[in-house]
Structure 1
Amino acid sequence: MSKHKRKAIIDDGMNSELVYGADFDGYLGIPLIRKPDKLIIPADIVPFTKRNRTNSEKVAVGFYEMDTEFSDVLISPADYIEEFCKQPLVTPENIKAILSPDCSLYRDAPLSVQISNIYRNRAIGYYYQSHGAYVIPQVRWGNALTYTTQVLPERAAFLGVEKHSIVAIGTYGCFKTRDDKYHFEAGLAAMMDTLEPKIVLVYGSMNEKVFGPYLKSAQFIAYPDWITRVKGGDR
Protein backbone atom coordinates (compact mmCIF):
# COMPACT_ATOMS: atom_id res chain seq x y z
CA MET A 1 0.00 0.00 0.00
CA SER A 2 1.30 3.45 -0.85
CA LYS A 3 2.44 5.59 2.04
CA HIS A 4 0.43 8.46 0.58
CA LYS A 5 -3.30 8.83 0.77
CA ARG A 6 -4.52 10.32 -2.45
CA LYS A 7 -6.20 13.66 -1.96
CA ALA A 8 -8.52 15.83 -3.98
CA ILE A 9 -6.00 18.36 -5.22
CA ILE A 10 -8.63 20.90 -6.22
CA ASP A 11 -9.78 21.18 -2.60
CA ASP A 12 -6.74 23.27 -1.73
CA GLY A 13 -6.41 25.21 -4.97
CA MET A 14 -4.30 22.70 -6.88
CA ASN A 15 -1.63 22.71 -4.16
CA SER A 16 -1.27 26.47 -4.01
CA GLU A 17 1.80 26.13 -1.78
CA LEU A 18 3.72 24.92 -4.83
CA VAL A 19 3.53 28.30 -6.54
CA TYR A 20 4.03 30.64 -3.60
CA GLY A 21 6.03 33.60 -4.92
CA ALA A 22 5.82 32.46 -8.54
CA ASP A 23 5.29 34.62 -11.58
CA PHE A 24 2.54 33.43 -13.89
CA ASP A 25 2.82 33.32 -17.64
CA GLY A 26 0.21 34.21 -20.21
CA TYR A 27 -3.54 34.33 -20.30
CA LEU A 28 -3.75 30.92 -18.62
CA GLY A 29 -1.48 31.87 -15.72
CA ILE A 30 1.02 29.01 -15.94
CA PRO A 31 3.77 29.15 -13.25
CA LEU A 32 7.09 30.29 -14.68
CA ILE A 33 10.26 28.23 -14.36
CA ARG A 34 13.01 30.81 -14.45
CA LYS A 35 15.98 30.66 -16.79
CA PRO A 36 19.02 29.59 -14.72
CA ASP A 37 21.95 31.97 -14.31
CA LYS A 38 24.19 29.41 -16.01
CA LEU A 39 23.12 27.05 -18.77
CA ILE A 40 24.71 23.77 -17.77
CA ILE A 41 24.48 20.55 -19.78
CA PRO A 42 24.06 17.35 -17.71
CA ALA A 43 26.33 14.44 -18.49
CA ASP A 44 23.34 12.13 -18.66
CA ILE A 45 19.59 11.87 -17.99
CA VAL A 46 18.21 8.92 -16.01
CA PRO A 47 14.57 8.08 -15.31
CA PHE A 48 13.22 8.82 -11.84
CA THR A 49 12.90 5.14 -10.88
CA LYS A 50 16.48 4.43 -12.01
CA ARG A 51 18.09 7.41 -10.31
CA ASN A 52 19.75 5.32 -7.61
CA ARG A 53 21.71 3.36 -10.19
CA THR A 54 24.18 6.18 -10.60
CA ASN A 55 26.31 8.10 -8.14
CA SER A 56 27.30 10.90 -10.48
CA GLU A 57 26.33 14.43 -9.48
CA LYS A 58 26.39 15.37 -13.16
CA VAL A 59 23.33 13.27 -14.00
CA ALA A 60 19.91 14.86 -14.33
CA VAL A 61 16.80 13.05 -13.12
CA GLY A 62 14.06 12.93 -15.74
CA PHE A 63 10.49 11.68 -15.64
CA TYR A 64 10.27 9.83 -18.94
CA GLU A 65 8.11 7.05 -17.55
CA MET A 66 4.44 6.35 -17.00
CA ASP A 67 3.00 8.96 -14.65
CA THR A 68 2.22 6.23 -12.13
CA GLU A 69 5.95 5.60 -11.73
CA PHE A 70 6.50 9.09 -10.31
CA SER A 71 3.05 9.66 -8.81
CA ASP A 72 4.59 10.23 -5.36
CA VAL A 73 6.36 13.29 -6.75
CA LEU A 74 3.10 14.60 -8.20
CA ILE A 75 1.11 13.95 -5.03
CA SER A 76 3.67 14.89 -2.37
CA PRO A 77 6.51 16.88 -3.96
CA ALA A 78 7.66 18.12 -0.53
CA ASP A 79 8.88 14.60 0.26
CA TYR A 80 11.65 15.02 -2.33
CA ILE A 81 12.99 18.44 -1.40
CA GLU A 82 15.94 16.99 0.48
CA GLU A 83 16.91 14.77 -2.44
CA PHE A 84 16.36 17.20 -5.31
CA CYS A 85 17.18 20.55 -3.76
CA LYS A 86 19.98 20.10 -1.24
CA GLN A 87 23.13 20.23 -3.28
CA PRO A 88 26.56 21.84 -3.48
CA LEU A 89 27.25 24.88 -5.61
CA VAL A 90 26.20 24.22 -9.18
CA THR A 91 29.12 24.33 -11.58
CA PRO A 92 29.79 22.64 -14.94
CA GLU A 93 31.83 20.05 -13.02
CA ASN A 94 29.26 19.48 -10.31
CA ILE A 95 25.57 19.54 -11.20
CA LYS A 96 22.61 17.81 -9.63
CA ALA A 97 19.73 18.67 -11.92
CA ILE A 98 16.14 17.60 -12.36
CA LEU A 99 13.76 17.99 -15.24
CA SER A 100 10.26 19.21 -14.48
CA PRO A 101 7.82 16.25 -14.39
CA ASP A 102 6.86 14.92 -17.81
CA CYS A 103 3.12 14.70 -17.14
CA SER A 104 1.29 12.96 -19.98
CA LEU A 105 -0.38 15.07 -22.64
CA TYR A 106 -2.53 12.61 -24.55
CA ARG A 107 -3.81 14.10 -27.79
CA ASP A 108 -7.25 12.57 -27.32
CA ALA A 109 -7.62 14.08 -23.83
CA PRO A 110 -9.77 17.19 -23.36
CA LEU A 111 -7.82 20.41 -23.73
CA SER A 112 -8.58 21.25 -20.09
CA VAL A 113 -6.81 18.06 -18.97
CA GLN A 114 -3.79 18.77 -21.15
CA ILE A 115 -3.54 22.30 -19.75
CA SER A 116 -3.82 20.94 -16.20
CA ASN A 117 -0.82 18.69 -16.81
CA ILE A 118 1.17 21.56 -18.30
CA TYR A 119 0.34 23.55 -15.17
CA ARG A 120 1.45 20.73 -12.86
CA ASN A 121 4.70 20.29 -14.79
CA ARG A 122 5.59 23.94 -14.30
CA ALA A 123 4.21 24.23 -10.75
CA ILE A 124 6.34 21.38 -9.45
CA GLY A 125 9.33 22.55 -11.47
CA TYR A 126 9.00 26.03 -10.00
CA TYR A 127 8.52 24.57 -6.52
CA TYR A 128 11.81 22.71 -6.63
CA GLN A 129 13.57 25.65 -8.25
CA SER A 130 12.34 27.93 -5.46
CA HIS A 131 13.94 25.54 -2.97
CA GLY A 132 17.32 25.61 -4.69
CA ALA A 133 17.17 22.85 -7.29
CA TYR A 134 18.69 23.27 -10.74
CA VAL A 135 15.53 22.73 -12.80
CA ILE A 136 15.44 22.25 -16.55
CA PRO A 137 11.94 22.66 -18.03
CA GLN A 138 10.62 19.53 -19.70
CA VAL A 139 8.53 20.64 -22.67
CA ARG A 140 5.76 18.40 -23.95
CA TRP A 141 2.93 19.17 -26.33
CA GLY A 142 -0.25 17.25 -27.02
CA ASN A 143 -2.63 17.90 -29.88
CA ALA A 144 -2.52 20.97 -32.10
CA LEU A 145 -4.62 22.96 -29.65
CA THR A 146 -1.66 22.98 -27.24
CA TYR A 147 1.01 24.19 -29.68
CA THR A 148 -1.00 26.50 -31.96
CA THR A 149 -3.36 29.42 -31.49
CA GLN A 150 -6.27 27.72 -33.22
CA VAL A 151 -8.43 28.07 -30.10
CA LEU A 152 -6.37 29.80 -27.41
CA PRO A 153 -4.63 33.17 -27.85
CA GLU A 154 -1.29 31.59 -26.94
CA ARG A 155 0.57 28.32 -27.38
CA ALA A 156 -0.20 26.67 -24.06
CA ALA A 157 2.50 23.99 -24.34
CA PHE A 158 5.25 26.58 -24.05
CA LEU A 159 3.91 28.77 -21.29
CA GLY A 160 5.92 28.85 -18.08
CA VAL A 161 9.26 28.54 -19.89
CA GLU A 162 11.53 31.50 -20.58
CA LYS A 163 12.96 32.19 -24.02
CA HIS A 164 16.62 31.72 -24.93
CA SER A 165 17.19 29.14 -22.22
CA ILE A 166 17.72 25.39 -21.82
CA VAL A 167 14.85 22.94 -22.28
CA ALA A 168 14.40 19.18 -22.48
CA ILE A 169 12.17 17.14 -24.75
CA GLY A 170 11.56 13.41 -25.15
CA THR A 171 11.24 11.49 -28.41
CA TYR A 172 10.76 7.94 -27.14
CA GLY A 173 7.45 6.61 -28.50
CA CYS A 174 6.75 9.75 -30.50
CA PHE A 175 7.10 8.24 -33.98
CA LYS A 176 4.96 5.12 -33.80
CA THR A 177 2.41 6.34 -36.35
CA ARG A 178 2.25 8.91 -39.10
CA ASP A 179 0.00 11.01 -36.88
CA ASP A 180 2.55 10.83 -34.06
CA LYS A 181 5.30 11.99 -36.40
CA TYR A 182 3.19 14.84 -37.74
CA HIS A 183 2.36 16.25 -34.33
CA PHE A 184 5.91 15.85 -33.05
CA GLU A 185 7.39 17.73 -36.00
CA ALA A 186 4.71 20.44 -35.89
CA GLY A 187 5.13 20.87 -32.14
CA LEU A 188 8.91 20.98 -32.41
CA ALA A 189 8.69 23.72 -35.03
CA ALA A 190 6.30 25.67 -32.78
CA MET A 191 8.59 25.25 -29.77
CA MET A 192 11.65 26.46 -31.63
CA ASP A 193 9.72 29.46 -32.96
CA THR A 194 8.17 30.34 -29.61
CA LEU A 195 10.99 29.72 -27.13
CA GLU A 196 14.09 30.13 -29.34
CA PRO A 197 16.05 27.90 -26.92
CA LYS A 198 19.82 27.99 -26.75
CA ILE A 199 20.15 24.38 -25.62
CA VAL A 200 17.77 21.48 -26.25
CA LEU A 201 18.29 18.19 -24.40
CA VAL A 202 16.77 15.30 -26.34
CA TYR A 203 15.95 12.12 -24.44
CA GLY A 204 15.67 9.41 -27.07
CA SER A 205 16.56 9.15 -30.73
CA MET A 206 17.27 12.33 -32.68
CA ASN A 207 16.23 11.82 -36.30
CA GLU A 208 18.38 13.92 -38.59
CA LYS A 209 15.51 14.76 -40.96
CA VAL A 210 13.32 15.93 -38.09
CA PHE A 211 15.94 17.93 -36.21
CA GLY A 212 18.16 18.95 -39.10
CA PRO A 213 16.42 22.28 -39.83
CA TYR A 214 17.11 23.50 -36.28
CA LEU A 215 20.68 22.38 -35.66
CA LYS A 216 22.06 25.82 -36.49
CA SER A 217 19.53 27.56 -34.26
CA ALA A 218 20.39 25.84 -30.98
CA GLN A 219 22.73 23.32 -29.43
CA PHE A 220 21.10 19.89 -29.34
CA ILE A 221 22.34 17.18 -26.98
CA ALA A 222 21.01 13.64 -27.42
CA TYR A 223 20.75 11.07 -24.62
CA PRO A 224 19.82 7.41 -25.27
CA ASP A 225 16.59 6.39 -23.60
CA TRP A 226 16.82 3.82 -20.81
CA ILE A 227 15.28 0.94 -22.80
CA THR A 228 17.73 1.39 -25.67
CA ARG A 229 20.59 1.71 -23.20
CA VAL A 230 19.68 -1.52 -21.40
CA LYS A 231 19.26 -3.44 -24.65
CA GLY A 232 22.67 -2.21 -25.69
CA GLY A 233 24.21 -3.38 -22.45
CA ASP A 234 24.96 0.12 -21.16
CA ARG A 235 23.49 0.38 -17.66
Structure 2
Amino acid sequence: MGSQRTISKYNLDYYRPDMVSGDYDMPVIYPTVYKPRRLVGFNQVNVADTSSGIHFYLDDYQFERFWKRPEHYVEKLKSFDCVLTPDFSLYRDMPIAMMVWNVYRSRLLGQMMQRAGLTVVPTVSWADKRSFDFCFDGLPKYSTLSVSTIGIKRSQNAYNLWQRGLLEMIARLHPKQLLVYGGEVEFAYPPDIDVVYYENDNVKRLRSL
Protein backbone atom coordinates (compact mmCIF):
# COMPACT_ATOMS: atom_id res chain seq x y z
CA MET A 1 0.00 0.00 0.00
CA GLY A 2 1.29 3.51 -0.76
CA SER A 3 1.86 6.48 1.49
CA GLN A 4 -1.00 7.96 3.52
CA ARG A 5 -1.07 11.02 1.24
CA THR A 6 -1.53 8.79 -1.82
CA ILE A 7 -4.17 6.72 -0.04
CA SER A 8 -6.05 9.92 0.85
CA LYS A 9 -5.75 11.42 -2.64
CA TYR A 10 -7.42 8.39 -4.21
CA ASN A 11 -9.85 7.79 -1.32
CA LEU A 12 -8.45 4.29 -0.85
CA ASP A 13 -9.41 4.43 2.84
CA TYR A 14 -13.03 4.00 1.69
CA TYR A 15 -12.50 1.14 -0.75
CA ARG A 16 -13.90 -2.19 0.49
CA PRO A 17 -12.63 -5.16 -1.59
CA ASP A 18 -15.44 -7.34 -0.21
CA MET A 19 -18.11 -4.90 -1.52
CA VAL A 20 -17.32 -4.84 -5.26
CA SER A 21 -18.53 -6.49 -8.46
CA GLY A 22 -17.48 -7.01 -12.07
CA ASP A 23 -14.10 -7.27 -13.76
CA TYR A 24 -13.15 -3.75 -12.63
CA ASP A 25 -14.02 -4.11 -8.91
CA MET A 26 -16.79 -1.53 -9.00
CA PRO A 27 -18.12 -0.70 -5.51
CA VAL A 28 -21.59 -2.13 -5.01
CA ILE A 29 -24.62 0.04 -4.24
CA TYR A 30 -27.55 -1.72 -2.61
CA PRO A 31 -31.14 -1.39 -3.86
CA THR A 32 -33.62 1.14 -2.65
CA VAL A 33 -37.01 2.25 -3.94
CA TYR A 34 -37.47 5.94 -3.32
CA LYS A 35 -39.07 8.90 -5.10
CA PRO A 36 -38.04 12.41 -4.01
CA ARG A 37 -40.54 15.25 -4.28
CA ARG A 38 -38.05 17.36 -6.23
CA LEU A 39 -34.39 17.37 -7.26
CA VAL A 40 -31.91 20.23 -7.01
CA GLY A 41 -28.31 20.38 -8.16
CA PHE A 42 -25.28 19.85 -5.95
CA ASN A 43 -24.19 23.38 -6.89
CA GLN A 44 -27.12 24.62 -4.75
CA VAL A 45 -26.27 22.49 -1.71
CA ASN A 46 -25.61 25.52 0.53
CA VAL A 47 -28.95 27.19 -0.17
CA ALA A 48 -31.35 24.41 -1.24
CA ASP A 49 -34.42 23.29 0.68
CA THR A 50 -33.33 20.18 2.57
CA SER A 51 -36.63 18.44 1.74
CA SER A 52 -35.22 18.08 -1.80
CA GLY A 53 -33.09 15.33 -3.27
CA ILE A 54 -29.66 16.31 -4.60
CA HIS A 55 -28.57 15.46 -8.15
CA PHE A 56 -25.26 15.79 -9.99
CA TYR A 57 -26.51 16.39 -13.53
CA LEU A 58 -24.01 19.23 -13.84
CA ASP A 59 -20.64 19.94 -15.41
CA ASP A 60 -18.06 17.84 -13.59
CA TYR A 61 -16.09 20.83 -12.31
CA GLN A 62 -19.06 21.74 -10.11
CA PHE A 63 -18.70 18.57 -8.04
CA GLU A 64 -15.06 17.47 -8.31
CA ARG A 65 -14.76 18.97 -4.81
CA PHE A 66 -16.93 16.10 -3.54
CA TRP A 67 -14.29 13.59 -4.67
CA LYS A 68 -11.54 15.69 -3.07
CA ARG A 69 -13.32 16.07 0.30
CA PRO A 70 -15.84 13.23 0.52
CA GLU A 71 -16.24 13.16 4.30
CA HIS A 72 -17.03 16.88 4.41
CA TYR A 73 -19.73 16.66 1.76
CA VAL A 74 -21.24 13.41 3.00
CA GLU A 75 -21.92 15.22 6.27
CA LYS A 76 -23.53 18.12 4.39
CA LEU A 77 -25.65 15.79 2.26
CA LYS A 78 -27.02 13.96 5.30
CA SER A 79 -29.41 16.89 5.73
CA PHE A 80 -31.18 16.23 2.43
CA ASP A 81 -34.05 13.92 1.54
CA CYS A 82 -31.90 11.71 -0.70
CA VAL A 83 -28.86 11.95 -2.95
CA LEU A 84 -28.26 10.70 -6.49
CA THR A 85 -24.75 9.43 -7.15
CA PRO A 86 -22.34 11.80 -8.95
CA ASP A 87 -22.70 11.81 -12.72
CA PHE A 88 -19.04 11.93 -13.74
CA SER A 89 -18.94 12.32 -17.51
CA LEU A 90 -18.67 9.48 -20.00
CA TYR A 91 -17.92 10.64 -23.55
CA ARG A 92 -17.44 8.43 -26.58
CA ASP A 93 -14.09 10.06 -27.38
CA MET A 94 -12.71 9.41 -23.87
CA PRO A 95 -10.13 6.66 -23.42
CA ILE A 96 -11.77 3.58 -21.89
CA ALA A 97 -9.51 3.93 -18.84
CA MET A 98 -11.00 7.37 -18.09
CA MET A 99 -14.54 6.03 -18.45
CA VAL A 100 -13.81 3.20 -16.01
CA TRP A 101 -12.28 5.69 -13.53
CA ASN A 102 -15.32 7.95 -13.67
CA VAL A 103 -17.75 5.07 -13.16
CA TYR A 104 -15.62 3.84 -10.26
CA ARG A 105 -15.64 7.25 -8.58
CA SER A 106 -19.42 7.49 -8.85
CA ARG A 107 -19.89 4.04 -7.35
CA LEU A 108 -17.41 4.60 -4.52
CA LEU A 109 -19.01 7.90 -3.44
CA GLY A 110 -22.45 6.30 -3.66
CA GLN A 111 -21.35 3.38 -1.51
CA MET A 112 -19.76 5.77 1.00
CA MET A 113 -23.02 7.69 1.28
CA GLN A 114 -25.03 4.50 1.79
CA ARG A 115 -22.66 3.32 4.49
CA ALA A 116 -23.10 6.69 6.20
CA GLY A 117 -26.87 6.16 6.28
CA LEU A 118 -28.00 8.37 3.38
CA THR A 119 -30.80 7.36 1.01
CA VAL A 120 -28.91 6.89 -2.26
CA VAL A 121 -30.37 6.60 -5.76
CA PRO A 122 -27.80 5.45 -8.34
CA THR A 123 -27.31 7.59 -11.42
CA VAL A 124 -26.80 5.49 -14.55
CA SER A 125 -24.84 6.81 -17.52
CA TRP A 126 -23.04 5.29 -20.47
CA ALA A 127 -21.15 6.26 -23.62
CA ASP A 128 -21.20 3.85 -26.57
CA LYS A 129 -21.45 0.06 -26.58
CA ARG A 130 -17.87 -0.33 -25.29
CA SER A 131 -18.90 1.16 -21.95
CA PHE A 132 -21.52 -1.56 -21.41
CA ASP A 133 -18.71 -3.85 -20.18
CA PHE A 134 -18.48 -1.83 -16.95
CA CYS A 135 -20.97 1.04 -16.74
CA PHE A 136 -23.70 -1.10 -15.13
CA ASP A 137 -21.40 -2.91 -12.67
CA GLY A 138 -22.09 -2.30 -9.01
CA LEU A 139 -25.65 -1.13 -9.66
CA PRO A 140 -28.61 -2.80 -7.94
CA LYS A 141 -31.36 -4.79 -9.63
CA TYR A 142 -35.07 -4.20 -8.95
CA SER A 143 -34.36 -0.75 -7.53
CA THR A 144 -34.88 2.95 -8.17
CA LEU A 145 -32.35 4.29 -10.67
CA SER A 146 -31.93 7.67 -12.34
CA VAL A 147 -31.08 8.69 -15.89
CA SER A 148 -30.85 12.04 -17.66
CA THR A 149 -32.32 13.19 -20.97
CA ILE A 150 -30.22 16.37 -21.09
CA GLY A 151 -28.63 16.82 -24.52
CA ILE A 152 -30.17 13.82 -26.25
CA LYS A 153 -32.45 15.94 -28.42
CA ARG A 154 -29.45 17.57 -30.11
CA SER A 155 -29.19 14.90 -32.78
CA GLN A 156 -30.62 11.58 -33.86
CA ASN A 157 -27.28 9.95 -33.08
CA ALA A 158 -27.35 11.27 -29.49
CA TYR A 159 -30.86 9.93 -29.05
CA ASN A 160 -29.94 6.54 -30.56
CA LEU A 161 -26.98 6.15 -28.18
CA TRP A 162 -29.17 7.08 -25.20
CA GLN A 163 -31.90 4.65 -26.25
CA ARG A 164 -29.44 1.80 -26.82
CA GLY A 165 -27.91 2.26 -23.37
CA LEU A 166 -31.28 2.59 -21.69
CA LEU A 167 -32.54 -0.64 -23.26
CA GLU A 168 -29.37 -2.42 -22.15
CA MET A 169 -29.69 -1.07 -18.62
CA ILE A 170 -33.34 -2.13 -18.36
CA ALA A 171 -32.50 -5.63 -19.64
CA ARG A 172 -29.68 -6.07 -17.12
CA LEU A 173 -31.03 -4.32 -14.03
CA HIS A 174 -34.85 -4.50 -14.28
CA PRO A 175 -35.47 -1.25 -12.41
CA LYS A 176 -38.71 -0.88 -10.47
CA GLN A 177 -38.60 2.90 -10.79
CA LEU A 178 -36.76 5.40 -13.00
CA LEU A 179 -36.20 9.03 -12.06
CA VAL A 180 -35.79 10.74 -15.44
CA TYR A 181 -34.13 14.14 -15.13
CA GLY A 182 -34.38 16.73 -17.89
CA GLY A 183 -37.84 16.18 -19.32
CA GLU A 184 -39.69 13.63 -21.39
CA VAL A 185 -38.51 12.19 -24.68
CA GLU A 186 -40.21 9.60 -26.82
CA PHE A 187 -39.46 6.16 -25.43
CA ALA A 188 -41.69 3.17 -24.70
CA TYR A 189 -40.81 2.26 -21.13
CA PRO A 190 -41.93 -1.20 -19.97
CA PRO A 191 -45.28 -0.88 -18.16
CA ASP A 192 -43.93 -2.37 -14.94
CA ILE A 193 -41.47 0.53 -14.43
CA ASP A 194 -42.70 3.55 -12.50
CA VAL A 195 -41.28 6.48 -14.49
CA VAL A 196 -41.01 9.82 -12.70
CA TYR A 197 -39.98 12.97 -14.61
CA TYR A 198 -38.07 15.94 -13.19
CA GLU A 199 -37.57 19.25 -14.96
CA ASN A 200 -34.03 20.57 -15.36
CA ASP A 201 -33.87 22.75 -12.24
CA ASN A 202 -30.87 24.74 -13.49
CA VAL A 203 -32.79 25.88 -16.58
CA LYS A 204 -35.85 26.61 -14.42
CA ARG A 205 -33.78 28.65 -11.98
CA LEU A 206 -32.18 30.70 -14.76
CA ARG A 207 -35.58 31.45 -16.27
CA SER A 208 -36.76 32.87 -12.96
CA LEU A 209 -33.84 35.33 -12.63
TM-score normalised over the length of structure 2: 0.90
Query: Which amino acid is 2:60 matched to?
Result: D
Deviations 1:81-125 (A, max 9, x none): 22123x5xxxxxxx7111110000011101111011000000011
1:74-223 equivalent positions in 2, closer than 5 A: 74-85=67-78, 96-147=81-132, 155-207=133-185, 209-210=186-187, 212=188, 214-223=189-198
Separation (CA, whole Å) in 2 of partners of 1:141 and 1:103: 10
1:47 aligns with 2:47: no
| Greater relative contact order (Cα < 8 A, sep 6+) | 2
Separation (CA, whole Å) in 1 of partners of 2:123 and 2:18: 18
1:33 aligns with 2:29: yes
SS at match of 1:104: coil
Separation (CA, whole Å) in 1 of partners of 2:106 and 2:27: 9
Which residue number corresponds to residue 61 of structure 1? 54
Separation (CA, whole Å) in 1 of partners of 2:205 and 2:102: 29
Structure 1: gaps of 5 or more residues = 1-9, 88-94, 148-154
Deviations 1:32-58 (A, max 9, x none): 01113xx2210011111123443242x
TM-score normalised over the length of structure 1: 0.80
Separation (CA, whole Å) in 2 of partners of 1:74 and 1:14: 9
The CA RMSD over aligned residues, in Å, is: 2.2
Aligned residues of 1:48 and 1:62 also touching (Cα < 8 A):
yes
| Offset of residue 75 of structure 1 | 1.3
Alignment length (residue pairs): 205
Which residue number corresponds to residue 204 of structure 2? 229
**Identical positions, percent:** 26
Structure 2: gaps of 5 or more residues = none
SS at match of 2:125: coil
Query: Which amino acid is 2:45 matched to?
Result: R
Residues 78/231 of structure 1: CA separation in 2 closer, same or farther (3 Å cut): closer
Task: Show structure 1 runs of 4+ deviating over 4 A.
Answer: none
